[in-house]
Structures are given as structure tokens and as C-alpha cells.
Chain A
Amino acid sequence: MATYQTRFGSLQNFEKGGVEVINDDARNYAFSNLYEVAAAAEPYEKVAVGKNLKYVLEAIRAEGTSPWYTTSHDEAAIVMDGEIEIRLVKLEGKLVAEDHEGTTMLEGTPKGPKMGYIVARRGHMALLPKGAAYQFHAAKPGVILLQTIRGDLTVERWKDICQK
């Protein structure tokens, strides 16, 4: 019986495909590679690699300890490379308005009861629940793909990351 090798990507090792235009403009496809984006990003920079009106998928280079963040809605984090610790604190009182969308950075360490922590590696998905504050920690560089809404911290640099 044949054996199969499943090919995942990583910061160190990824291959890129691309758009082969027949009768079109490659920019219509906003084609990028999230490992390439994270390789060129600052730690915890939130670079949009997908945008569907107000919703975004952000590629985040996880390296060292991040600031604390919160949102008025759930977010989902998919670890695409490395090992990332996610620390969660239940916020006392509302620090962001219910209608404020996207990720908000908090000053310092938030007050509130510890909810717990997660240690996630490549291929793991974690809930970043609304009403919680969270912090990432990665001893070595890793990559997070974050399902969220475009916010104050979202970086858009399509011209730099996409095939033209």
C-alpha cells in the first residue's frame, strides 16, 4: 500500500503556488502566503491576509510575549506553526463597548480571575472567548491565523503581500 506524506507549511519551510492569469488581473485573487507574511512581520503584528468586508483573517507572527487583548465578540485562533501558550483572564466589567469590533489592546495586565491557559501547536484551534482578555506567548517564532473582525490593530498591506 502506498504511503502518503501530508505537506504542511512552516515559517522555515513553505512553498508558494500562484495565480496563472488567462484573461484576468491577478490582483482580483489577493493571493498571498501566510508563512511568507508572518516571516516578514513584526512580532504580534496583525496582518490581514483575508478580508470579506468587515471580517478578516489575520496572519500573526507569534514571538515572545504579546500584549493583552480583548474583544466584544469571539475570535478563533488556528496555530499554523510553532507552539503557543494562550493565557486567559475573565475581565471584570466591560472594557470595550459591545458594538466595538475587532481586537483591542489592553494596557498592562488585566484585572480579573484567571480562566486558565492553553498550550497549542500546529494544527490546533483555540477559542478566544468574548469577555475574556488573552495573551500569547511563544518561546520560538510561530504563526497564528486569527478569525476576527477588522479592528484598530489590523494591518493592511496588500500591495506588499499579494501577487500582482
Chain B
Amino acid sequence: MGDGKAQHSTPNRHGYHAFQIGGFKFERDEYFAHISWPGGNHIMPVDKFLKALMRDVAWNFFYGVVNFDEVFGTTNHYGTVDVFAGLYNGGYRARNKHRMETFRSDEVRPVFEAMLDDWTIEGFDPFAAPEETGTAFGPKRGNNHAAVTRKRVVARRMVGLNDDTPLRGDESGFRVNRHFADVDQTEPEVHAEPGFENEVHAFNFFAYLSRSDVTWNPSITSVVKDSLVCPTTEEFVLPIIHGNDRVEWFVQLSDEIHWDVTDRETGAPRARVVMKAGDVAAMPADIRHQGFSPKRSMLLVWENADSELPELYAKKKLKPNPVDF
């Protein structure tokens, strides 16, 4: 297990601090994030890096592999997390150039949070679509603390119930997104007899999504045991390449998303999946995927949160495809 301590340096000439976890060092300049480790270096456009880092932090390392790009990323083991370079890259693996270090999740999280906060400048929102945000580039200038510390919505039973995560409205600061101005905002008729007000429950789910102020950020809206409905609104490009550690499913609720699907281990192309409203598709347990949404769209991501699944798939006790026919 590595040493998860952040390195608190004085800011560099661009005004940014450097960070370190174990052997991995992170620095930024005006345009790029520079990642280095004993025996290797990697460079990423800093907007791309911050958008990926934002998801990794907000999702607490999510399910499985969060590839920031073809080289750098994290793998969640739910308590520990692997930080890697080249681990899921055919070329790096062929020459044994990859590096992976395992940390306690609570060692990595504060370093990633501090880096995200320090490197995100005023006017840049890593969760926003490109048309909705200012630039990530340039010297250190202010911060966007409010944007990078948003809490992910995690309903325990269903959005809108008492003691559960609230609905969205103008009054709570969630305005209808410019791409969803035509989405009907009328609520369902709910007629509850006295005493059943918190069980007779319905809400306008599409209106709720039309008011999401973030992109590519699945939140939980309804729960049936380990079955989680995790809708999200998507615009432009998924800032990570998600490597599955279980099967996940997509239901396209509106508009259209194109998915590039590649091999989980090597990144070799396997398929493209084009999804339009009403389309349903599984993402098998042995792939990684990245989505492209030309217009802001509503996507229902459906997850099985059973904590035993990653090991069952890793040990091939479960097939990577969800159904045989």
C-alpha cells in the first residue's frame, strides 16, 4: 500500500500547487496536467484532466475503472483504490511500462479533492458542458469552490419523498437547461388519502432531469434493493472512459448518444452503439465505453450495486454478457 500524503509545495510560476500520491506526481501549467512516476511521464490537456478528476472525486471512484484517458486512471476496490498509468493500455503492458499503486480510498480522495480545488480557476465548471462554462486554461485566477464541491444526489428510496433527496425547481436554484426548454414541467396528479402522503408518491422525472446543472454525472433517483436507477443528462463527451467491473445498462430517455466501446483491458475497438429515445442496451462487464451526445440528452444508467459482483466477474464466475439468446 502506497503513501497517500499530498505534497504541499509553494505554488509554481503559474500559481498552481503540485501534488503527490505515492510515486505519482501531479503538476499543472497553463494548458496541461503533467503526471509523472518513476520510469514514466504523461501529459493531458488540463480541462480534460479536471473534468475526469471531477467525476472521480464526486463518484468516490465510481464502479470499476475510471480511465481519465488511454493511460491514466483509477480502479475502485471499494475501500482501496488503484492509481495507475498504462495498466489498461496494450502498448504499455506489452513492454511492462505500466505502473500501479494501491492506496486506501480515504488517502487518495483528499489529495484529489485538493488538486481539483487548486487547479480549477474562477469561471471553469468541470461538470458543465463546454458551451456553459468558461475556460480552464491560463494562470491561477480565483477558484470555483462551489462547483467542485457539489454533492452527488443519492436517493435512498425515491427522489421527493420525505427524508429523501429533494425535487428541483427555480426556487432551489435549478433552472431548466437551455436544451430542455421544451420539456413539459407539469407534475403528475397525486391524490393521497390521509396517512398515505409519503407512500402515494410520483414526480415529473423528465422535468427533474431537465433541471440538472451537471453533465455526465449519474445520480440515484430510485432504489429497489441493489437495483439503482441512476439518470444523468449528457452533452458533448463523457470526460472519462468507464471500464466496467460488472454489467451496467443504459436506457436512452431522450435524444441520442453514440458510444465507443473498446476492450476493458487493452482499449482495442469492439463496437459502436448508437442509442435513440427508447433504446435499451447493456454494457458488458469486460468493456470500457465513452459516450458522445450532440445535444443535451437524458440517459438512464441502471446499476446493480451488489458488492459481490466485481469479484464474481473478475474470477469469471459470471459471464460478461447479461443474457444469452
Interface of A toward B, CB cutoff 8 Å: 1, 3-9, 14-24, 26-36, 49-53, 55, 57, 59, 73-76, 78, 80, 86, 88, 90, 113-127, 129, 132, 145, 147-149, 156, 158-159, 162
Contact = CB atoms under 8 A, between A and B. Distances in A.
Contact of B280 (A1, A49, A116): A49
Interface in B174-196: 178-184, 186-193, 196
B35 interface: no
Nearest to A158: B325
A50 B280 contact: yes
B184 A123 contact: yes
A116 B279 contact: no
A158 B280 CA distance: 12
A73 B200 CA distance: 15
B322 A4 contact: no
Given A29-B282, A125-B203, A149-B227, A6 B254 contact: yes
B188 A126 contact: yes
B52 interface: no
Given A52-B227, A121-B186, A127-B222, 16 more contacts: A6-B295, A9-B278, A15-B277, A23-B268, A26-B271, A30-B282, A30-B321, A50-B280, A52-B304, A74-B158, A78-B205, A88-B196, A123-B206, A125-B221, A129-B199, A162-B325
Interface string B217-244: 0000111111101000000000000000
B247 interface: yes
Contacts of A34: 251, 278-280
A1 B202 CA distance: 34
B188 A29 contact: no
B188 A116 contact: no
A57 B253 CA distance: 14
Interface of B: 157-159, 161, 178-184, 186-193, 196, 199-207, 221-227, 229, 246-249, 251-256, 261, 268-284, 295-296, 300, 302-304, 306, 309, 318, 320-325
Given A5-B182, A14-B278, A145-B251, A74 B302 contact: no
B221 to A, nearest CB: 7
Given A24-B271, A57-B249, A31 B281 contact: yes
A148 B279 contact: no
Contacts of B190: 116, 118
A22 B272 contact: yes
Contacts of B223: 74
Contacts of B248: 52
| Max count, chain B CB within 10 A of own CB: residue among A9, A17, A75, A90 | A17
7 contacts: A4-B179, A6-B183, A14-B276, A22-B269, A53-B304, A78-B300, A114-B193
B223 to A, nearest CB: 7
Contacts of B181: 3-4
A33 B280 contact: yes
A75 B199 CA distance: 12
B253 A8 contact: yes
A25 B259 CA distance: 16
A127 B284 contact: no
A10 to B, nearest CB: 8
A21 B156 CA distance: 38
A9 B277 contact: yes
Contacts of B323: 30, 51, 156, 158, 162
A125 B304 CA distance: 20
A88 B304 contact: no
B193 A116 contact: yes
B233 to A, nearest CB: 11
Contacts of B283: 29
A32 B204 CA distance: 25
A124 B209 CA distance: 11
Nearest to B226: A55
A60 B200 CA distance: 21
A126 B201 contact: yes
Nearest to B284: A28
A76 B224 contact: yes
B84 to A, nearest CB: 24
A49 B202 CA distance: 23
